[in-house]
Amino acid sequence: MSDKILIVNYKAYIHAFTQNGVTIAEAARKLRAKLSSTRIILAVPSPLLYKILEIYDDVYLQHVDPVSPGSHTGFLPAKALEYLPVKGTLVNHSEHKLVYRSIVQIIDDVRYVGKEVVACADTPGEAAGLAYIRPTMIAVEPPELIGTGIPVSKAKPEIITNGVKAVHSVDPSIPVLAGAGITSGEDAVKSLELGASGVLVASAIVKAKDPAGKLEELAIAMDTF
């Protein structure tokens, strides 16, 4: 069976840049021995890439840009992932939305260089459109719940079931992740029960007082499912 996915999005919380960011990476490394069917991916701020890679090797960027390598200052071409030891990237996150055409360019470029790309959607409808571009995975996150601590799996379970349905009506092989407000192992497991292949979590882990403990709670709960 393929792995259940737990993506920890560091975002640009100050905690991402302080000790919490390192602690989460160390915890992810230690958890690996305990997990049999769950994969933890850390989506880190780009300047921290090599720093986190010294600790943990399953790392994503949070965004890449729809430009080709060349004279672009302060933009990261999707194809540059070929030269970086990352596994992949998020794209079109709720906090970094792009027009469809740019998402197409990024997904095509990332897959061209053999890396993974998780495309994010607000709704099942947006997810269905993204499914046509064949990203590695699709995450559905209702923006009104992001960062609230109110889990999508409880407040809007139909977003998950309809998101899975919409994506799989286009391509049943694309795993669908759920996100927004997921705070506990219970929330994560509920998402899996609703048909998701994994979850995206951010503040609940990154801003936690005990980020290692919180990460372990979610990962173990998912792995046990």
Residues that bind a copy of itself (CB under 8 A): 9, 11-14, 17-18, 43, 45-51, 61-63, 67, 69-77, 79-80, 82-84, 86, 90, 93-101, 104, 121-126, 128-133, 143, 146-147, 166, 169-170, 202-203
Is 217 one of the catalytic residues?
no
- Complex with a copy of itself: residue 75 or 193, whichever CB lies closer: 75
Q: Are 160 and 197 in contact (CB under 8 A)?
A: no
Exactly one of 15, 93, 216, 217 is catalytic; name it.
Answer: 93
In angstroms, give the least distance from the CB of 42 to a copy of itself.
13
Question: At CB < 8 A and 24+ separation, what contacts does 122-130 make?
Answer: 122/94, 123/159, 123/163, 124/159, 124/162, 124/163, 124/165, 124/166, 124/167, 125/166, 127/163, 127/166, 127/167, 127/176, 128/166, 128/167, 128/169, 128/170, 129/100, 130/92, 130/103, 130/167
In angstroms, give the least distance from the CB of 168 to a copy of itself.
13
The count of other CB atoms within 10 Å of the CB of residue 98 is 17
Distance CA 142, CA 92 (A): 13
Strand partners, 139: 120, 177
In angstroms, give the least distance from the CB of 135 to a copy of itself.
11
In angstroms, give the least distance from the CB of 129 to a copy of itself.
2
Is 126 one of the catalytic residues?
no
Residue type, 223: D
- Complex with a copy of itself: residue 45 or 185, whichever CB lies closer: 45
Residue type, 85: P
- Complex with a copy of itself: residue 3 or 82, whichever CB lies closer: 82
- For residue 170, give the H/E element and its range: helix 157-170
Exactly one of 15, 63, 126, 141 is catalytic; name it.
Answer: 141
In angstroms, give the least distance from the CB of 139 to a copy of itself.
11
The sign of the CA dihedral 122, 164, 4, 183 is: positive
- Complex with a copy of itself: residue 143 or 213, whichever CB lies closer: 143
The count of other CB atoms within 10 Å of the CB of residue 50 is 10
- Complex with a copy of itself: residue 82 or 186, whichever CB lies closer: 82
Active site residues: 93, 141
